[in-house]
Amino acid sequence: MRTRRGCVAACAAILLLAAGSAPAQQAVDTEKELEKYRQMMSDPMSNPGFLNVDRGEALWTQKRGARNASLETCDLGMGPGKLEGAFARLPRYFADVDQVMDLEQRLKHCMETIQGLDTADILRRRFGAPGRVSDMEDLVAFIANKSSGMKFEVPLSHPKEREAYAIGEALFYRRSDFMDFSCATCHGEEGKRIRLQPLPQLNKPGRDAQMTMGSWPTYRVSQSQTRTMQHRLWDCYRQMRTPEPVYLSEGITALTLYLVKTAEGGEIQVPSIKR
Amino acid sequence: MRTFFFAALVVLAAQVPALSPAVAQVGAPPDPAALERVTKAMWPKRPEGWENRISYDETQAACSRFRNELPQAEFERVRAREAATIRFPADGNVLGDWKAGQKYANDGRGGTFTDRPMTNGANCYACHQMDLAELSYGTLGPPLVGYGKLRNYAPEEARAAYAKIYNSMATMPCSTMPRFGYHGFLTEQQMKDLTAFLFDPASPVNK
């Protein structure tokens, strides 16, 4: 078990940074400071996200459900039980369900088919909150961490992967609802910001997309929770004033595949820690 | 830029029939029916109280399809359609209370699926620099510092600003800026207050 001993100092520093809604001038300095802390953030001792990694590991091997089975035979695309590098190649096409899945969809599938688990409760706890631990966030942190140091690689070799990519790209530019926003409104240009918040450009291969996608799942200091891409996109749609998008829906996976493809070649360092 | 993009689209469109499945190649647009199916599954039903909110109109569809770079004919069609939606205050007065406008410009709350019904903020500072003293401003839109002063507080300019807030796409189809009045996101009084924030000589925007 790793501990969160080192977190006290590091997290306090990050909290200070997050809290100071600094003037524009200071934004640049803040960015520099953050760079320094990033070193510290990838240190298991300072990053509470590694608590999720530990819990995820326990969940992976724990026997549960009607079949009293663990998840250890779950095939995440690299073969049953093979975790190294699996996250770096997701979302991907799975022949057994004839469908493109992201990690969370695949985990739900394995819980139901291998463990015979009733996932209603898992879905209710999809996003952690005070007093509510999310199995999904724990498992994703554990499994994604097994791809740390590796690079995203989604060759889109199956026609359904190419279809999902095309849908994801169209969704990225799809303007809708109360505010006429699309993802491209906020992530379609270089060097823009909303208020003082820098906005990564996510529709072009490059450093922004690679750094962004390579850092999820992440421990979010502002929320005191480790979050997955499912939650990030849920939150961006919330800001866009759409209705709540369905968790594990095909569209979120399509968008994720589009983003991962755009970030291809980017190095994964997770769980990271950010604002 | 627009012409170039249109040319690229024509080339793309010409290529599509040559491919056997609709998405044989990365970069090709998705099958419209598949996209429709996916968005329906993402948002299977309108939440209670949202039934009258516009979810996806013709203009959004055009801006999505052309990625905000409309071909000229479409550009004119959208502009005319959006201009026709604008409703000015019955008494013709577009100027309200700049202090209230200042508050709305700074307020980004309201309208999300986690908010209770409330008076929505306008959040202009998300995208615009306005009062120089407010340092927390975004850069998605042009700075509006000194907006009324630079326009000599001309009444027709104030009217144009009210119209811009009501429906940004009446002058700039596929603008990044939301159509606040068209969607009913802001009330008439809020839009008057915001116009006053831009046009009142006493407003910090003009200091």
| Per-residue pLDDT tens over the stretch B42-57 | 999 999 999 999 999 9
Q: A27 near A195, Cβ under 8 Å?
A: no
Which tokens go with A228?
A: 């997955």
Shortest Cα–Cα distance, B20 to chain A (Å): 11
pLDDT at A10: 42
pLDDT at A16: 40
pLDDT at A89: 98
Taking contacts as CB-CB distances below 8 angstroms, the residues of chain A near B108 are 195
Q: Is the pLDDT of residue B17 over 90?
A: no
**Distances, alpha carbon B26 to alpha carbons A262, B30, B57, in Å:** 12, 10, 28
pLDDT > 90 fraction of chain B, expressed in percent and rounded:
83
In whole angstroms, give the CA distance from residue A185 to residue B174: 10
Least confidently predicted of A140-149, A259-268, B23-32, B66-75: B23-32
How many residues comprise chain B? 207
Shortest Cα–Cα distance, A59 to chain B (Å): 28
CB atoms A166 and B111 under 8 Å: no
Candidate from B25, B31, B178 with C-beta closest to A180: B178
Q: Scanning every residue of chain A, which has its alpha carbon at the shortest distance from the alpha carbon of B41?
A: A249
pTM: 0.90
CB atoms B23 and A252 under 8 Å: no
Between A253 and B5, name the one with better pLDDT: A253
**Distances, alpha carbon A151 to alpha carbons A90, A106, A204, A265, in Å:** 11, 20, 17, 5
Task: Phi first, then psi: give them for residue A225, nearest 5 degrees.
Answer: -145, 155
SS (HEC) of B11-32: HHHHHHHHCCCCCCCCCCCCCH
In whole angstroms, give the CA distance from residue A162 to residue A173: 17
Q: Any chain B CB within 8 A of the CB of A204? A: no
pLDDT at B27: 75
Which tokens go with A54?
A: 């530990």
In whole angstroms, give the CA distance from residue B84 to residue B2: 24
Residue A236: active-site member: yes
CB atoms A195 and B125 under 8 Å: yes
Q: What's the average model confidence in pLDDT over B5-32?
A: 52
Which tokens go with A70?
A: 């663990």
For the residues of A221-234, what is the DSSP string, one character each? TTTTEEE-HHHHHH
Q: Is the pLDDT of residue B16 over 50?
A: no
pLDDT at A217: 98
Number of Cβ pairs < 8 A linking chain A and chain B: 134
Q: What's the average model confidence in pLDDT over B13-25?
A: 42
**Distances, alpha carbon A87 to alpha carbons A82, A105, A151, A262, A266, in Å:** 11, 13, 10, 16, 13
In whole angstroms, give the CA distance from residue A119 to residue A124: 9
Q: Classify B135 in phi/psi space as left (phi over 0), alpha (psi -120 to 50) or beta.
A: alpha
For the stretch B82-116, pLDDT in tens is 999 999 999 999 999 999 999 999 999 999 999 99
pLDDT at A227: 97
Q: Is the pLDDT of residue B15 over 50?
A: no
pLDDT at A3: 36
pLDDT at B13: 39
pLDDT at A135: 98
Q: Is the pLDDT of residue B3 over 90?
A: no
Q: Residues 6 or more apart from A100 whose CB is under 8 A from it?
A: A91, A92, A93, A94, A158, A160, A161, A163, A164, A250, A253, A254, A257
Long-range Cβ contacts of B9-12 (<8 Å, 24+ apart): B9/B66, B9/B71
Taking the mean position of all CA atoms in its chain, how far away is CA B156?
Answer: 21
For strand A197-198 and strand A92-94, is the pairing parallel, antiparallel, or unpaired? Answer: unpaired
Q: Is the pLDDT of residue B41 over 70?
A: yes
Q: A125 near A135, Cβ under 8 Å?
A: yes
In our burial notation (b when 16+ CB lie closer than 10 A, e otherwise), range B6-38 reads beebeeeeeeeeeeeebbeeeebbbbeebbeeb
CB atoms B42 and A249 under 8 Å: yes
Q: Is the pLDDT of residue B157 over 50?
A: yes
pLDDT at B32: 95
pLDDT at B9: 40
Axis crossing angle, helix B2-15 with helix B72-83, rounded to the nearest 10:
110
pLDDT at B1: 38
Helices (H), ranges, A68-158: 103-110, 120-124, 135-145
Taking contacts as CB-CB distances below 8 angstroms, the residues of chain B near A176 are 55-56, 60, 64
Q: Within chain A, which residues score under 50 in pLDDT?
A: 1-23
Q: Any chain B CB within 8 A of the CB of A180? A: yes
pLDDT at B184: 97
**Closest by Cα among A163, A108, A141, A124 to A269:** A141
CB atoms B30 and A167 under 8 Å: yes
Which H/E stretch holds residue A100?
strand A99-101
The mean pLDDT of chain A is 89
pLDDT at B7: 40
CB atoms B138 and A195 under 8 Å: yes
Beta bridge partners, A273, equal A219
Which H/E stretch holds residue B194?
helix B188-199
